[in-house]
Structure 1
Amino acid sequence: MNFEQIYNQFKEEKISERYITLNHIEPILNRLSEKIKVAVIGKSVLERPIYSCQSGSGKIKILIWSQMHGNESTTTKALLDFFNLLESDAEIAKDLLNRFSFCIIPILNPDGAEAYTRVNANKIDLNRDAQDLSQPESIVLRRAYNDFEPDFCFNMHDQRTIFGVGDTNKPATVSFLAPSYDEERNINAVREKAVSVIVAMNNTLQQFIPGQVGRFDDGFNLNCVGDTFQHAGTPTILFEAGHFQGDYEREETRKFIFFALLSAFDSIYENVIVDNVFEDYVNIPQNNPRFFDFVYKNIKINYDSSDKFINFAAQFNEELIDNQIFFNAFVVKIGDLEENVGHTELDGNGQSFKNFTENSLQLNQKADFFIGESVQIRNGIVQS
């Protein structure tokens, strides 16, 4: 399968960047043909519609939902690309529609998407509401699950730039999890199906982002949706769209999520039996929160009239201002960074730190400063 060619052909060009709301996707949903049946299946806390998109006539039923956390939009973009593929006359689209029945919820938490927050309008994390079902969005998802009776569930998320792959210096661009179904993290036939699909997706992605696929922690929490559905007997896979080098808008990662989806569907349909599949799964390195967006090393700074050489790190805060996401960098750690890596690193070679207002370095200050006489840092970034 030529993943690159398929993606380039069907990428939805009208959607990009990180801020994705109903206002962005509704024009796309409205133009879909009868191949994809769009329906409002519920309302959010603030009465925004929650859409489902159903397509296909195959026996294998797959339920997918995205933006359960409103500020995690990368997988939504990949799903819109997938809609374009299903709408086409390509042979792969015909095969998918004949083999599968899809129920896709592109934005489960439209209020959180609008506000660019993880939580819903009641400040509840929907991914911790699987048992209480205290929120209307949680009830919508559970009703969709009960009515559709899926054979597989795909729980689509973004993860922060802090995650790397194991002890390597590579970012976790995509991570997966086959959630546990019990406290002991056992493997049964249901979880093994999810594991097998993840192994297939990892094998595909290693061709494009070698060493940049991670495995999420599988601690059991029945309040989480994935753990609940796995516990209920439905193979469930957590997708985590992470950081690719320099790709803060997650446009490259979007492509790899699309690749993963196609690989997953192919694996499920072919139902290839792999020996030692769980061993292959656990050999995917676990996510390790060791990254910062910026790391500055060997910087001279004056404390109490004496010079010291320090390392410090800065991290972007994502802030919604006038319907646009701004990445604003702040100092988040000063001191020992031996176990940490920066997506961008600068060795100051002993040059002096100089602030724009005073020559002090404090946590939570804006990452605007000089290193020596000539290196100017604005918003964490070296200015040319």
Structure 2
Amino acid sequence: MVREIVGHYQDYKEPGFEERRFKHNDIKPVIQKWQKNNLFEVNQVGKSIENRELYLISIGSGETDVFLWSQMHGDESTATMAVFDILNFLAHDSFQKEKEAMLKKVKLHFLPMLNPDGAEVFQRRNSLGIDVNRDALRLQSPEAKTLKRVRDSLEADFGFNLHDQSRYYNTQGSENPATISFLAPAYNYEKSINDVRGNAMKLIVQMNQLLQEYAPGNVGRYNDDFEPRAFGDNIQKWGTSTVLIESGGFPGDPEKQEIRKLNFLTILSAIFSIAEEEYESMAIADYSKIPENDSKLYDLKIKGLQYALFGEQYILDLGINHSEVYSQNEKQLFYRSYIADQGDLSTNFGYNTLDASGFDFEAGKIHAEVLPNLDAVEKLNFSDLHSKGVAYVRVQNLPKDRRYFNYPIVVVGQNFKVSEEIKVGMNPTFFLTKAGKPYYAVINGFVVPLDGEASNFKNGFIIRN
């Protein structure tokens, strides 16, 4: 049945959340919509440090309480979007018989955006500067106190701890990104398995089986070392069967809209399974068969590059990542790339891979002409500059409120000097050449083929020194 529901997903998808960066004020109108719907019970259950409201949205009349909380890290919003979609599904006039039967057996409680202050600036930590997920013992933050109080008041049977993880995680031994990762947190250092944790494991086994139909090979399992300060571990310890769901990366999905849909599918399937107690037939032993998360994935892997240093020739692989930077002035997300690793990366993988065997590294040159402003940069012939090995251009008057632009060049200040070496941490801007002729420009970590092939180039940026 869940498969059929997913076929109608667009009917349930909450509009206005096509990008991951949204704030407390963006979700308040959606919550007000549910406040006006008699199906839901909406209560303010707390406030953040900066006085933003924390809401609990409940539906159902069953004896089994299921508690789901999202975005305790302010920059982890994928599951929050999926929660909105699930609420829309529950309010929709489709699949009425199935929903009524389910809601007679369970009562669902959703706490979206537990850390609205972090979401306001899209950062992991709250206004106190702490990780809310490491505040389960001291309970210093009001967000942590709210989470503990709600869990205790519900005495929830099942809990879903909803997060995002790095897009650089892969499933162990595979080039596949760990798009969805699970964990049934341990409740002690011995990693014991009682009925509470065992039920979480069984539920994960069932969710994984379904996910393999939609994202085969893209499901991972988190390390289950006990963390005594973490909420997941403690909520498991307090008697709630707790499932951690982490949303990672997926090719071509920077705003995690496909992963949002996978969350919708996964969480909804678990809710129906809990209602019908289907998970009880799953084998706990199958939990350990889910491959563990690994961290061997880059945005771009360049392999086999020939690199000259002090008169000697070497072969290097480069692992390049595109770091996301949000520009408040330009209200846009841009990328500033860096070399994450170099050397023998034969056991690592890339979302994109370029075989540079037979190509030489050549540092980019600086354009001979100093331009007066950024408007003059826009008029340059970038293809012509790249063919000459030019990757940088000096500009006299750099606006203080600009850091990025959409042209394949790096703008620099008057005192900038090109590095002739490759170093971990540096911005990857250089050329791949044969016999001195450039074939590829690598500008801010994005490959620009010089033969006219399509490029996934995103943006250049400004270095002011």
Specify if TM > 0.5: yes
The amino acid across from 1:239 in the alignment is I
The question of 1:367 aligning with 2:428 is answered: yes
Distance 1:3 1:164, change over 3 A: farther
- Tell me if the contact between 1:116 and 1:320 (Cα under 8 Å) persists in the aligned partners: no
- Counterpart Cα distance in 1 of 2:295 and 2:239: 31
Match of 2:145 among 124, 139, 145: 139
Distance 1:160 1:21, change over 3 A: same
- Counterpart Cα distance in 2 of 1:351 and 1:328: 24
Residue equivalent to 2:27: 25
- Tell me if the contact between 1:309 and 1:350 (Cα under 8 Å) persists in the aligned partners: no
- Tell me if the contact between 1:353 and 1:359 (Cα under 8 Å) persists in the aligned partners: no
The question of 1:306 aligning with 2:312 is answered: yes
Runs of 4+ aligned residues of structure 1 deviating over 4 Å after TM superposition are 273-276
Residue equivalent to 1:349: 357
- Counterpart Cα distance in 1 of 2:359 and 2:23: 45
The question of 1:110 aligning with 2:175 is answered: no
Match of 1:377 among 442, 445, 461: 442
Residue equivalent to 2:210: 204
Residue equivalent to 2:393: none
Residue equivalent to 2:100: 94
Residue equivalent to 1:60: 64
Residue equivalent to 2:248: 242
Q: Secondary structure at the match of 1:256?
A: helix
Residue equivalent to 1:229: 235
| Higher relative contact order, chain-length normalized (CA < 8 Å, sep 6+) | 1
- Counterpart Cα distance in 1 of 2:145 and 2:21: 25
- Counterpart Cα distance in 2 of 1:299 and 1:82: 48
- Counterpart Cα distance in 2 of 1:227 and 1:86: 29
Which structure 2 residue ranges, 5 or more long, are not aligned?
365-417, 449-454, 456-465
- Tell me if the contact between 1:19 and 1:325 (Cα under 8 Å) persists in the aligned partners: no
CA deviations on 1:174-223 (whole Å, 9 max, x unpaired) are: 01111111111111111111111111101110111111111111111121
Q: Secondary structure at the match of 1:310?
A: strand
More displaced 10-residue stretch of structure 1: 15-24 or 136-145 = 15-24
Match of 1:191 among 197, 204, 209: 197
Residue equivalent to 2:461: none
- Tell me if the contact between 1:198 and 1:281 (Cα under 8 Å) persists in the aligned partners: yes
Alignment of 1:139-288 (within 5 A): 139-272=145-278, 277-288=283-294
Deviation at 1:338, TM superposition (A): 2.3
- Counterpart Cα distance in 2 of 1:44 and 1:98: 33
Which structure 1 residue ranges, 5 or more long, are not aligned?
none
- Tell me if the contact between 1:85 and 1:93 (Cα under 8 Å) persists in the aligned partners: no
Deviation at 1:274, TM superposition (A): 5.2
Match of 1:73 among 71, 74, 77: 77
Distance 1:134 1:340, change over 3 A: same
- Counterpart Cα distance in 1 of 2:242 and 2:121: 28
Under a length normalisation based on structure 2, what TM-score does the superposition of the two structures give? 0.79
Q: Secondary structure at the match of 1:150?
A: coil
- Counterpart Cα distance in 1 of 2:31 and 2:239: 31
- Counterpart Cα distance in 2 of 1:275 and 1:89: 31
- Counterpart Cα distance in 1 of 2:47 and 2:334: 29
The question of 1:7 aligning with 2:9 is answered: yes
- Counterpart Cα distance in 2 of 1:351 and 1:381: 17
- Counterpart Cα distance in 1 of 2:50 and 2:82: 26
- Counterpart Cα distance in 2 of 1:237 and 1:39: 24
- Counterpart Cα distance in 2 of 1:231 and 1:4: 33
- Tell me if the contact between 1:18 and 1:325 (Cα under 8 Å) persists in the aligned partners: no
The question of 1:16 aligning with 2:18 is answered: yes
Deviation at 1:363, TM superposition (A): 2.1
Q: Secondary structure at the match of 1:140?
A: helix
The amino acid across from 1:339 in the alignment is T
Residue equivalent to 2:388: none
- Counterpart Cα distance in 2 of 1:80 and 1:22: 13
Residue equivalent to 2:381: none
CA deviations on 1:322-374 (whole Å, 9 max, x unpaired) are: 25433332111111212211111111122122333443222222233222202
Deviation at 1:97, TM superposition (A): 3.2
From the CA coordinates, give the structure whose radius of gyration is larger.
2
More displaced 10-residue stretch of structure 1: 105-114 or 55-64 = 55-64
How many residues end up aligned between the 2 structures? Answer: 384
Distance 1:276 1:257, change over 3 A: closer
More displaced 10-residue stretch of structure 1: 79-88 or 94-103 = 94-103
The amino acid across from 2:427 in the alignment is K
- Counterpart Cα distance in 1 of 2:358 and 2:44: 60
Distance 1:376 1:102, change over 3 A: same
Deviation at 1:27, TM superposition (A): 1.9
The question of 1:41 aligning with 2:102 is answered: no
- Counterpart Cα distance in 1 of 2:55 and 2:249: 28
The CA RMSD measured in Å over matched residues stands at 1.7
The amino acid across from 1:73 in the alignment is S
- Counterpart Cα distance in 1 of 2:321 and 2:235: 35
- Tell me if the contact between 2:206 and 2:282 (Cα under 8 Å) persists in the aligned partners: no
- Counterpart Cα distance in 2 of 1:314 and 1:308: 19
- Tell me if the contact between 1:166 and 1:285 (Cα under 8 Å) persists in the aligned partners: yes
More displaced 10-residue stretch of structure 1: 44-53 or 321-330 = 321-330
Q: Secondary structure at the match of 1:160?
A: coil
Deviation at 1:229, TM superposition (A): 0.8
